[in-house]
Amino acid sequence: MKWLVVISDEFIDVGKMSRSANRTTLCTAACWLLSALALTGCDTTPTLVLELENPLADANVVDGRAVIDGAVFDGSVADGAVTDGAVVDAMVLAGDASNQLCGNSVLDLGEICDPGIDFCCNFQCTGGIAAGIVCRPAFDGCDLPEVCEGSFTCPVDEVAAAVCGDGIICGGEVCDDGVFPPEEFDGCDMGCLVEPGFVCTGEPSVCESAPVTANSLDDAPLLPTGENDFMIGGSTIPLFVDNTFDGGGWILIGRGREGWAWNDAGAGGPAAVKDGLGTTSAFAPTYLSAALVQELMDNSINTPDITLVDVRIRRASAADGSNYQESVWIPLAPIGWTWLFDGGGPSNALQAPFGFDVDLFVEDSDLGLGGFLPMANTEDTIAPIASFGSDDHMRMFTRASSEHGLAQGFSYGTSVTLGDASPTSFMLNSGFDHSMPYTEIYIRGLPPQMSLARWTSTASRFVQGLFTDSASPDADSASPDQSF
C-alpha cells in the first residue's frame, strides 16, 4: 500500500529522497485545517508530501493513523533510503489501509469528501467532522467565522452588517472614523461616505483636507461653500465657492461697486477677489483675468464657450447691504470669456460695438417682481440695444453714465433711486437716478438639472424659432449692430 507523509520543509533534504518518492505541495488551506484540528503543528507555509511505495518502518499506528511527535522513522525504507535522523511534526494522512489517498485534495473513488477540498470532511473521507470546529476563519472585521455543522461542507461565507461609526469599513461604507453616533462636517459623513474636500484613510478612518486638485467649473459642486484652493494660472489661488443658490456650483470671479474697467487683464489680484464679500471693503472692483476664467472653462468637460456657462449677477438692493437681487445671464454668443461687457464702445453713448447678447432672468426681490428679458445685452437691457426691457429695477446696464461721473458698474433703471454718494452706501446715488449697486459676479458650468433661468431661455429660443419670419426685411433692421 501507499502512504502519504506530510513533512515540514525545514526537515527535508531533497537530495536524500528515494527516486520513488513523488514530491507535491499541500495547499495552505489544508495545512491550516490540520493545525486547527490540533493534529499537527504545521504552519501555513507550503509543505512536502511524499508518496512512498512501502509503509514506514517503526511507525506507531494508532486507530488507523500514524501520528508521530518526534522520530517518524529511523533507518531505511524499502526501495530507497531517507537517512540522517528524525523528522519532527510529521503526519501520515492516509494511515487507513482502506483509503490511502484521503487528503490529497482529489475526490477519489469511494470517497464521499476530501479534507483538502471539503474543510469539514474527516480524515477517512467518509463524512463530516464534529460540529463547532471553525472551517473558515473571519477574513477581517467585516467577516464572520464559519464553523462545521456536522456535514462535510463548510457553510456559505457570511459577512457582518455594516455599522457606521464602529471604526470598521464594511459594505457600502467608504470611511468610518469610529465616531458614534456619526457626525457631519468631520470628513466622514453620517452615511460613512467621504465628504467633499476631504481624504480619509485607515480604520478607524482619519480624515484630512484634500490636497489641491480643483481647477475647473466642474469641481465647484463637489466643494464646500466658502474659500477653496484652485490650481489655475500655474499657481494655487483661493476662490470663493457658493453651493447654496439655485443648485450651487457657483465660483465668484469678480465683485465691486463703481469703477469697473471692463479690462480682460483683470483687476485687484486674483487672490483678493474673495476678500471682504458683502462689506464696504469689497467696493473697489476686483476680478479675475479673462485668461483665468477661460482656464476654469477649458478645464471643464462641457464648457467650450460661454453659451454653456451661467453668469450670476448678485446686486445689492438696499443701501445698507441687507438685501440683494439675484439675476442670471444666459450668454447667447459662442465666444470665449471676456469682461468687455460694454463692448468697448464710446463712453456714455449707445453706439456700437456693443457687448454680447444674453437672455436675462431676474428673481423677485424687495425692489419688485422679477421676470425674463430675452435678447438683452451685457451693455444694456433696454432699447435700442434690447427690444423688451424697461427702465426699472430689472434694467441692468454696464456702460458709463454721466450721472455717476462716467463710472461703470451694474446700474439699475431710473425707477431705482436708493442710496447716496457716501463711500459706505451699497447703492451709489449721486443725486440723480438709477442707483449703481455693489455687485458680485459668479459663473458655473451647466448644473445636472436645468435651472429655471436656462429652461426659460431655452423655451424662449424655441418659441422665437417658431414665430420669427427670417424672410422679413424688418427682422434685421429692428435690432442694432450687436457684433462683438
Sequence spans of domains, the chain: 161-211, 217-466
450 pLDDT band, cuts 50/70/90, is: low
439-447: average pLDDT: 92
Q: What angle do CA 472, 477, 480 make, to 5 degrees?
A: 145
Q: Tens digits of per-residue pLDDT, 14-59?
A: 333 322 233 333 333 344 444 444 444 444 333 333 434 333 333 3
For residues 402-428, one letter each, b for 16 or more C-beta atoms within 10 angstroms of the residue's C-beta and e for the rest, the string is ebbeebbbbbbbebbebbeeeeebbbb
476 pLDDT band, cuts 50/70/90, is: very low
Q: Left (φ > 0), alpha (ψ -120 to 50) or beta: where does 321 sit?
A: left
Residue 452: strand, helix, or coil:
helix
Output the average pLDDT for the chain: 76
The answer to whether 230 and 296 have CB atoms below 8 angstroms apart is yes
Q: What angle do CA 186, 190, 193 make, to 5 degrees?
A: 80
Nearest alpha-carbon partner for 263 in 344, 203, 335: 344
81-85: average pLDDT: 34
Based on its alpha-carbon atoms, the radius of gyration of the chain, rounded to whole angstroms, reads 40
Q: Tens digits of per-residue pLDDT, 191-244?
A: 999 987 789 999 999 998 877 779 999 999 989 999 999 999 999 999 999 999
The Cα–Cα gap between 44 and 83 comes to: 26
Beta bridge partners of 7: 48
Nearest alpha-carbon partner for 261 in 285, 280, 244, 292: 285
Cβ-based neighbours of 204, under 8 Å, separated by 6 or more: 167, 168, 176, 177, 178
pTM for the structure as a whole: 0.56
Per-residue cell: 127 = 463524512
Q: Tens digits of per-residue pLDDT, 92-122?
A: 333 333 456 888 889 988 899 999 889 899 9
Residue type (1 letter), 250: W
The Cα–Cα gap between 410 and 425 comes to: 15
| Secondary-structure percent of the chain, ordered helix, strand, coil, rounded to 5 | 15, 25, 65
Beta bridge partners of 331: 358
